Amino acid sequence: MDKLDTIIEKIDKIKPDLDKVALKRAANILKNDGLVAFPTETVYGLGANALSENAVKKIFIAKGRPSDNPLIVHISKIKDIDYLAKDIPQNALKLIERFWPGALTLVFKKNKSVPYSISGGLDTVAIRMPCNKIALSLIDTCGFPIAAPSANISGKPSSTEYNHVFNDLYGKIDMILDGGNCDLGLESTVVEVFEDRAVILRPGSITEEMLKEVITNVEVDKAILLQNFKDLPKAPGMKYKHYAPKGKITIIDGNMENTVKKILFFLEEDKNNNVKSLVISTYETAQFYKGENIFKIGGKTDEKEIARNLFSILRKCDDDNIEKIYIESFRESGIGFAIMNRLKKASGYNIVKV
C-alpha cells in the first residue's frame, strides 16, 4: 500500500462549526472515497462514505480488518434510518427516543442502499447517531451517512485519544480530525431489536439496566455470557483476541487481600526472571503496590472513569514495552459488564481466581 500524506486538523469539540473549513475539507475527502478518522463520544472512528462500496473497502485494508466483520453506519438525523433500514420495530423507536444521539448502536434489517461490504454479507445493518458535535457536523457537512469502525489497527485497543489514531493510522488514511480525548472511552452498546425483545450483542456504557427502563424484554447475547465461564476452552487461533496490547494480560479475580497478594507474588516472580511487568490498580489498592511498576486506572466503583482510561492505559503499557500486565477484576454490573467484557477479550480469557 502506498504511504499517504495524512492531513491533520485540530477541531474544537464544543464548537466544531467554528472550523468549517476543516470540516469541508474532510467532507470533500469522504466524497471522493477517501478515509477520515474523527472523534465520537465513545472512541475515534475511521470514516468512509457508507454508500460507496469502493470507499468502504479501503477501511478494511487500512485497519487490516477481516471483511466479514460488519461496520456501523453513523447518521446525524433520526429520519436517515428510513433510507438505510426497513421494518423498524416499535421497540427501536422507543430506544431511539431515549438514547439518541448517544452511545447506542441498533441493528435492523438493511435496505438495498447499504452495500454488503458494510454488513459483512449480512442482511442487517448497524446504525448509530453519535452525540459528539464534531461527528454530527461532519456527517451533516457530507450529506451522506458515514461508515466507521473504531480507528485502530485490527486487534489493538480502540483509539480514545488523537495520538492513538496517529500512531496506528498515520500514512494509511487521508485525514485525522483531532478533537481531543473521547468522553466515554468504550465503544457503543450494540443491540439488535425485534418487536418482542432487544438483544445486547456488545455491552457498553448504555447498560442492560438502562435499556430495561425502556423495554421490558432485554436479553444478553449468549455468546457474551458464555465467555464469562472461566473454564471456557481457549478459542483456536486468535479468534477471541481483541483490544490487546503487546504484553500478556492476567486478570486476578478474588477478594482484595488475596488479589493483592497474588499480584505481588507475580511481580516478584517477574523481577526474578527479568520480565518487565506492571500492575493496573485502582486508587484504593495503589498503596499496596508501593515501589512497583503501576498505572492507576481510577476509583474501584467509578466505572465511568475506569471505562474512560482503560484503552489508553493498555496503550501506555505498549509504549513502555511492558511484557506482562496484571489487573484486578471489576464487578460486572452496570458499565462494569462492558469493562470486564473488553478486559477478558484483551487478556484472551486469562483469568486467575484467588
Considering CB distances under 5 to 8 angstroms, the limit depending on partner class, which of Mg ion, ligand TXA, none binds residue 56? none
Nearer CB in complex with Mg ion: 190/280: 190
Nearer CB in complex with Mg ion: 46/263: 46
Q: Out of 54, 69, 217, 273, point to the residue binding ligand TXA (CB under 6 A).
A: 69
C-alpha torsion angle, residues 229, 235, 239, 244 (rounded to 10): 60
Shortest distance in whole angstroms from residue 242 CB to ligand TXA: 9
Nearer CB in complex with Mg ion: 26/244: 244
Please report whether residue 45 would count as binding ligand TXA according to CB under 6 A.
Answer: yes
Nearer CB in complex with Mg ion: 244/267: 244
Q: How far apart are CA 207 and CA 212, in angstroms?
A: 9
Task: Find out whether 206 and 225 touch, Cβ atoms under 8 Å.
Answer: no
Shortest distance in whole angstroms from residue 169 CB to Mg ion: 13
Please report whether residue 201 would count as binding ligand TXA according to CB under 6 A.
Answer: yes
**198 has which bridge partners?**
193, 218
Nearer CB in complex with ligand TXA: 165/317: 165
Please report whether residue 350 would count as binding ligand TXA according to CB under 6 A.
Answer: no
Q: How far apart are CA 266 and CA 210, in angstroms?
A: 38
Shortest distance in whole angstroms from residue 136 CB to ligand TXA: 12
Nearer CB in complex with ligand TXA: 130/334: 130
Q: How far apart are CA 289 and CA 292, in angstroms?
A: 5
Task: Pick the stretch among 36-44, 77-85, 222-230, 323-331 that binds ligand TXA (CB under 6 A).
Answer: 36-44
Dihedral sign of CA atoms 262, 263, 267, 270 in order: positive
How crowded is residue 239: how many other Cβ atoms within 10 Å of its Cβ? 9
Per the structure block, which three cell numbers stand in for 329? 477484576
Binders in 169-188 for ligand TXA, by CB under 6 A: 187-188
Binders in 89-118 for ligand TXA, by CB under 6 A: 105, 107
Please report whether residue 168 would count as binding ligand TXA according to CB under 6 A.
Answer: no
Q: Out of 4, 8, 78, 122, point to the residue binding ligand TXA (CB under 6 A).
A: 122
Nearer CB in complex with Mg ion: 141/150: 150
Buried b (16+ CB within 10 A) or exposed e, 186-202: bbbbbbbbeeeebbbbb
DSSP codes of every residue in 287-349: GGGTTS-EEEEE-TT-HHHHHHHHHHHHHHHHHTT-SEEEEE----STHHHHHHHHHHHHHTS
Task: Determine phi and psi for 187, rounding to 5 degrees.
Answer: -65, 160
Task: Find out whether 239 and 260 touch, Cβ atoms under 8 Å.
Answer: no
Q: How far apart are CA 133 and CA 116, in angstroms?
A: 29
Residues at the contact surface with Mg ion, assessed by CB under 5 A:
150
Please report whether residue 119 would count as binding ligand TXA according to CB under 6 A.
Answer: yes
Shortest distance in whole angstroms from residue 149 CB to Mg ion: 5
Nearest residue to the partner Mg ion, using Cβ: 150
DSSP codes of every residue in 26-51: HHHHHHTT--EEE--SSS-EEEEETT
Shortest distance in whole angstroms from residue 193 CB to ligand TXA: 11
Positions that interact with ligand TXA (CB under 6 A): 40, 42-43, 45, 69-72, 105, 107, 119, 122, 124-126, 128, 148-150, 187-188, 190, 201-202
